[in-house]
Amino acid sequence: MDLAEIFRVMRRRWYVLLPGLLLTAGLIAGATVLVPVKYQSQSTVVLLNSQKATQAYDGNPFLSTQTSLTGMADSLARNLDSDDSLRDLKSLGAKGTFAAKLADNAQGPLMWLTVTGTDKASVLASDKILTSYARERLDQFQKQQSVAPRAMIRMTTIVPPQNPVAQTKTRIEYMVMAGALGLVITLVAAFYVEARKRSSSQAPEPATGPSEPQAGPNGARSTEAGSTEARSAEPEEETAAPASSTGGAVMEETLAIRRTPSWSQSAVDGPIAAEPHAQRPAMAVASAAEPLDEESTHGHRPRTGQRDR
């Protein structure tokens, strides 16, 4: 089946295609309503060395970097993704989905703090809460280990929480899936109806007339069928039975034949072959309406009633 045939089937089964397209539109609208638009806000923070470790650099923390800071950033990100931190954030009024991880392709202890939700204003406020909470958790870790205040690792914000951006990828994916599902259902229904119509139109109808005569062992049909065909093949001929007359010399009816009588043909033409199923008369007889006299019938014989002198 080529593309042209597909379009012809769709045109013939428009009454199936139209409800299917309406169903597809309904599925897309349902996906639009059920899958709301999500917004995402993100901030970037970095861990800095302690004041004591930066004395050699005149207190500049960006000149003093250590590999241990990256390990501490990874530990802090894992703690922020835990269930305990999630409960603390909810109690602080944060809403949405939270994520903390090391920044991609980062060459230092950089962290991404991300909040995703359906309310744009709430997402921005929740990202600010998450950034503040990350700094508090870093201080709690070090206080639990009795770290001196001048030796504590510090955190600073590199990129503050950004305005939430709509994330339409997931929504579009669901809409495309709904539209594809509706189109598949529509095409399957249209071609199913087409197949049913074709099968019903091609089904053999039951025979209502007499059955066809069967062929015999010698390859010929039955005697009755053969005789019927032979009679239909033969040319129709009018036959008339001879009727008797009182004089015995003139016949009252004639035989209607289609060929030229043998007595009217010339000698060159030759005799006419007799029909295989009937004997043809040697001469034609006049009709009863115009009787012939004996002279015309028997040559030079004198008329009736005249005697030879």
76 burial class (0-12, 13-18, 19+ CB within 10 angstroms)?
A: buried
Q: What is the pLDDT of residue 65?
A: 72
Of 11-25, 60-74, 243-257, the range with the lowest mean pLDDT is: 243-257
Cβ neighbors of 61 (< 8 A, separation 6 or more) are 48, 49, 54, 154
Helical (H) or strand (E) element with 100: strand 97-102
Give the model confidence (pLDDT) of 113-152 as tens digits.
999 998 999 999 999 999 999 999 999 999 998 889 888 9
Mean per-residue pLDDT, 237-244: 42
Give the model confidence (pLDDT) of 142-166 as tens digits.
999 888 988 899 999 999 999 999 8
Q: What is the pLDDT of residue 206?
A: 56
Q: What are phi and psi of 48, to 5 degrees?
A: -115, 155
Task: Give yes or no for residue 48 having a pLDDT over 70.
Answer: yes
Distance in angstroms (rounded) separating the CA atoms of residues 35 and 32: 6
* Most confident range, picked from 52-66, 183-197, 248-262: 183-197
Task: Give yes or no for residue 250 having a pLDDT over 60.
Answer: no
Q: What is the pLDDT of residue 260?
A: 54
Q: What is the pLDDT of residue 205?
A: 58
Rg (CA), the chain: 57
Distance in angstroms (rounded) separating the CA atoms of residues 33 and 175: 10
Q: Of residues 187 and 236, which shows the higher confidence score?
A: 187
What would the two tokens of residue 232 be? 């239909």
Q: What is the pLDDT of residue 180?
A: 92
Residue 19 neighbours by CB distance under 10 Å: 12
The residues pairing with 99 across neighbouring beta strands, listed in sequence order, are: 114
What stretches of 203-222 show up as alpha helix (H) in DSSP? none
Mean per-residue pLDDT, 223-238: 45
Q: What is the pLDDT of residue 285?
A: 41
Residue 271: C-alpha distances to residues 63, 220, 263, 298 (Å): 139, 35, 9, 21
Task: Give yes or no for residue 233 having a pLDDT over 60.
Answer: no
- How much of the chain, in percent, has pLDDT values that exceed 70? 65
Q: What is the pLDDT of residue 227?
A: 47
